Amino acid sequence: MNKNSNFDDREADHHDEWLFGGLAALCAAALTQLGNTQAESLSCLGLGILSFAVAIPLLVFSLLVTRITSIPRTGLRYLADVLGVLFSFVGLSCLILHMNQFAGLAFITTTVIAIILYLRIIRQSR
């Protein structure tokens, strides 16, 4: 096994720690700010709060697994990672849409564009 392989894996895990930890903190901060807010379940704000509440345990799980273990990624681990990021994105999108519809739509549109660009770059590098 190559010595640099372990270093590269650890570096990738370090980036994952920042991603999952940062998103969990963002979700927790948003929920803290919205703590006294009553929102209808089907409103944009209510959906955002629900999304943050679902995202936090998934993101913390992903952070702990990345930080504490050296277990290779499995399908279930990828699922938890992707769902945590997805729910935090939905929560943030709903929060921005609640504050300003134009800003929310701009956020969603640029996110979709960024995902398309990312997928194209990944496809070209193969």
Residue 108 has pLDDT above 90, yes or no: yes
Looking at residue 37, what is its pLDDT?
A: 75
Using the CB atoms, write b or e for 23-62: b if 16+ within 10 Å.
Answer: bbebbeebbeebeeeebeeeebbbbbbbbbebbbebbbbb
Total-model pTM: 0.77
What percentage of the chain carries pLDDT values higher than 90? 39
Q: Each residue of 28-52: pLDDT tens digit?
A: 988 888 877 777 777 888 899 899 9
